[in-house]
Structure 1
Amino acid sequence: MTRTITVPPDAQLAPMLRAYAESVAARRRHFMFGLTILAAAVALSAVGIEIDPGLFWAKLGNFTSYFDRLLHLDTGALVWTDPGEWFWGLRRWLRLLGETLLMAYVGTLTGAVLAFLGCFLCSRNLMRSAVLRMVVRRLLEICRTVPDIVFALIFVIAFGLGALPGVLALAIHTTGALGKLFAEVVENIDMRPVDGIAATGGSWFAQVRFGAVPQVLSNFASYAVLRFEINVRGAAVLGFVGAGGIGEELIVAIRKFFYSDVSAILLMLVVCVMLIDTLSERLRHGLLAMEARR
Structure 2
Amino acid sequence: MAKTLAILPAAQLAPLAEAYRAAMAVKRRWTIGGLAVLAVCTALSVWAGQVDIVKFWSGLPRFASYFHDILPRLRFETFAADMAEWFWNLDGWLGLLWDTLLVAYVGTLAGAMAGFVLCFLASANLTRSPVVRIFARRSLEFGRTFPEIVFALMFVYAFGFGPMPGVLAIAIHTAGALGKQFSEVVENVDMNPVEGLTASGANYVEAIRFGVVPQVLSNFVSYSLLRFEINVRGATVLGFVGAGGIGKELISSIRQFYYADVSAILVIIIGTVFLIDWLTEMLRHRLLGIEGGAR
TM range (shorter): 0.7 to 0.9
Name the CA shift for 1:100/1:37 in 2 (closer, same or farther; >3 Å): same
Match for residue 27 of structure 1?
Answer: none
State the Cα distance separating 1:46 from its structure 2 match. 2.2
Contact 1:79–1:86 (CA<8 Å) still a contact in 2? no
TM-score between both structures, scaled by the size of structure 1: 0.82
CA distance in 2, matches of 1:211, 1:187: 13
Instruction: Spell out, residue by residue over 1:83-132, the C-alpha distance to the aligned partner (whole angstroms, 9 max, x if none).
Output: 01100110100000000011110001011111111111111111111110
Counterpart of 1:278 in structure 2 is 278
CA distance in 2, matches of 1:131, 1:33: 40
Give the C-alpha shift of residue 203 in structure 1: 1.0
With the length of structure 2 as denominator, give the TM-score of the two structures.
0.82
* Structure 2: tracts of 5 or more residues without a match: 1-30, 291-295
1:60, distance to aligned residue in structure 2 (A)? 2.9
Tell me: CA distance 1:198–1:37, structure 2 relative to 1, closer, same or farther (3 Å).
Answer: closer
CA contact (8 A) 2:74 2:83 kept: no
Opposite residue 289 of structure 2, the aligned amino acid is A
| Letter aligned with residue 173 of structure 1 | H
Deviation at 1:56, TM superposition (A): 2.8
SS in structure 2 opposite 1:161?
coil
Structure 1 residue 35, shift from structure 2 partner: 8.8
Aligned residue pairs: how many? 258
Alignment deviations for residues 203-244 of structure 1 (CA, whole Å, 9 cap, x no partner)? 111111111111111111111111100100000000000000
Identity level (%): 59
Q: Which residue of 2 aligns with 1:235?
A: 235
| Equivalent residues of 1:71, 1:79 under 8 A apart | no
2:106 maps to 1:87: no
Counterpart position of 2:68: 68
Structure 2 equivalent of residue 244 of structure 1: 244
- Taking the aligned partners of 1:265 and 1:286, their CA distance within structure 2 comes to 32
- Note the 1:162-181 alignment, pairs <5 A: 162-181=162-181
* 1:192 alignment partner in structure 2: 192
The alpha-carbon distance between structure 1 residues 258 and 117, as it changes in their structure 2 partners (threshold 3 A), is same
User: For the residues of structure 1 that align with 2:242 and 2:162, how far apart are their CA atoms?
Assistant: 6
Runs of 4+ in 1 over 4 A off after TM superposition: 31-44
Per mean C-alpha deviation after superposition, the further-off stretch among 164-173 and 35-44 is 35-44
Q: For residue 15 of structure 2, what is the aligned residue in structure 1?
A: none
Which position in structure 1 is the counterpart of 2:137?
137
Q: Mapping of 1:40-119 within 5 angstroms?
A: 42-72=42-72, 77-78=73-74, 81=79, 82-119=82-119
CA contact (8 A) 1:79 1:260 kept: no
Change (3 A) 1:246 1:218: same
Give 1:6's aligned residue.
none
CA shift at 1:146, angstroms? 0.8
